[in-house]
Amino acid sequence: MTDASSSPTPPGPDTHSQPPAGGAPRLRVLAAMSGGVDSAVAAARAVEAGHEVTGVHLALSANPQSFRTGARGCCTIEDSRDARRAADVIGIPFYVWDLAERFREDVVEDFVAEYEAGRTPNPCLRCNEKIKFAALLDKALALGFDAVCTGHYATIVTREDGTRELHRASDAAKDQSYVLGVLDERQLAHALFPLGDTLTSKDEIRAEAEQRGLAVAKKPDSHDICFIADGDTQGFLAGRLGTAEGDIVDEDGLKLGTHEGAYGFTIGQRKGLRIGHPAADGKPRYVLDISPVDNTVTVGPADSLDVTGLTAVKPRWCGAAPSGPGTYTAQLRAHGGETEVGAEPTDDGQGLSVRFTEPVRGVAPGQAIVLYEGTRVIGSATIATTERARSEALPRP
């Protein structure tokens, strides 16, 4: 395994590859190998497709032991070793690239800052935007590679004019297009997702890995947040932001209890509120608002969570930006369903205005909204404010 601080020079011809079928161009591909089964099979399929493939594992922590291991990680020493062994079996060059400082700045610090501001970020989506398809892709292109290959379940469709579209995976149950909705046209032009267009179950992917002799065939999937070693998000945030007692109040401002930091709550949360006063109607209460300015958490009934519209910022379009209003479906979380919306860019092009056909719940500032037209991903934006059926818009700083 190459030293983590080194970078590969463009390797010579890969004798393990066969010319691509159907006259497709033979690409020089950098396969991002996390140490899991999906990225290993994706790399193997890229080789089988006739491309010249080099494997790379991203070292994302200055202290890899602080990251999750086994079933819960993707960036540990254990994972880098699994990736190296997979590359050896596939028969491709393999390197480790140190992107720990970039990951700390763009993903971990962003995660902490967003919670401190009362928002709910998605670090996996930010990692795709800032690390895998920015820092990694830029470095790959500078070294003469044509594309970055990952084990994501999504599909890229090339139109007759040569432009590329991002679509859902053929198997909707495994689709990961939501966390790729931050990719722009340039990034899509240099992306490969070999797993996205096959209707194969995860068991079949594991069986394929076993047939290829890949030891990761039985390795459990990664889950949750890789840089929180013990899975305790609230404890992780408390260690960086400290504790600060604040009030838990109802919609009328009546104090119901206290907390040790507003960052420990998310919109729509029900459990762990530690409210000493039962609701007058005996029904559960949920987090409605988080105010970092006065460190106050507001709770109320479920129907107060109904959101009828929102504004979002920092739109990223997977192709040309819409020129006006349109009807789409929207996904609001990585494993959520779709809901019909009307949406249009703001006049300055820096935002997005969205109206829901039917009210939705569990919508929090900081989350990403991803727009679809059929299976095609139109783009994404970060939720800034929400409009409630029972209240004014709830802004965030």
Residues 256 and 346 in one domain: no
Confidence band, pLDDT 50/70/90 cuts, at residue 362: confident
Residues 267 and 367 in one domain: no
On whether residue 370 sits in a domain, the answer given is yes
Query: Which residue in 17, 7, 55, 11 sits closest to 151, CA to CA?
Result: 55
What's the average model confidence in pLDDT over 284-309?
93
Question: For 219-249, what is the HEC assignment?
Answer: CCCCCCCCCCCCCCHHHHHHHHHCCCCEEEE
On whether residue 395 sits in a domain, the answer given is no
On whether residue 363 sits in a domain, the answer given is yes
Q: For the segment 27-66, what is each residue's pLDDT rounded down to a tens digit?
A: 999 999 999 999 999 999 999 999 999 999 998 876 655 5
Confidence band, pLDDT 50/70/90 cuts, at residue 71: very low
> Catalytic one among 74, 124, 149, 226?
226
What pLDDT is attached to residue 1? 38
Sheet with 255-259: strands ordered across = 255-259, 246-249, 296-300, 286-291
Query: Which residue in 347, 364, 352 sits closest to 316, CA to CA?
Result: 352
Identify the weakest region by mean pLDDT among 1-5, 61-65, 349-353.
1-5
Residues 80 and 211 in one domain: yes
Residues 38 and 195: beta-carbon distance below 8 Å:
yes
Residues 209 and 255 in one domain: no
Which domain-ending residue is among 301, 333, 348?
A: 301
Q: Please state, rounded to an integer, the average pLDDT across all residues of the chain.
A: 87
Identify the weakest region by mean pLDDT among 3-12, 94-103, 194-203, 260-269.
3-12
Residues 34 and 74: beta-carbon distance below 8 Å:
yes
Residue 246 confidence (pLDDT) above 50: yes
The answer for residues whose C-beta is within 8 angstroms of residue 385's C-beta and 6 or more apart is 310, 311, 365, 393, 394, 395, 396
* DSSP sequence for 265-319: --TT--TT---SS--TT----EEEEEETTTTEEEEE-GGGG-EEEEEEEEEEESS
Residues 76 and 214 in one domain: yes
Q: Which domain holds residue 47?
A: 21-151+194-218
What's the average model confidence in pLDDT over 378-396?
78
The residue type found at 150 is T
Residues 250 and 308 in one domain: no
Record the tokens describing residue 226, joined without a space: 């890789």
> Catalytic one among 124, 127, 149, 318?
127
Residues 116 and 201 in one domain: yes
- What is the rounded distance in angstroms from the CA atom of residue 315 to the CA atom of residue 311? 11
On whether residue 210 sits in a domain, the answer given is yes
Q: For the segment 189-236, what is each residue's pLDDT rounded down to a tens digit?
A: 999 999 998 777 788 899 999 999 999 998 887 766 888 877 788 889
Residues 33 and 143 in one domain: yes
The number of distinct structural domains making up the chain is 3
- Four-CA torsion 122, 128, 131, 135, nearest 10 degrees: -140
On whether residue 7 sits in a domain, the answer given is no
Residues 295 and 325 in one domain: no
Query: Which residue in 150, 188, 146, 138 sits closest to 10, CA to CA?
Result: 146
Residues 276 and 201 in one domain: no
On whether residue 287 sits in a domain, the answer given is yes
- What is the rounded distance in angstroms from the CA atom of residue 74 to the CA atom of residue 59? 10
Concerning whether 75 is annotated as a catalytic residue, the answer is no
Residue 6 confidence (pLDDT) above 70: no
- What is the rounded distance in angstroms from the CA atom of residue 39 to the CA atom of residue 57? 10
Record the tokens describing residue 350, joined without a space: 């820096």
Residues 261 and 214 in one domain: no
The residue type found at 146 is D
Concerning whether 74 is annotated as a catalytic residue, the answer is no
The SS3 assignment for 174 reads: helix
Q: What is the pTM of this model?
A: 0.88
On whether residue 237 sits in a domain, the answer given is no
CATH at residue 283 = 2.30.30.280
HSE of 349 in the Cβ direction (CA atoms, 13 Å)? Answer: 6
What's the average model confidence in pLDDT over 5-22?
46
Residues 143 and 34 in one domain: yes
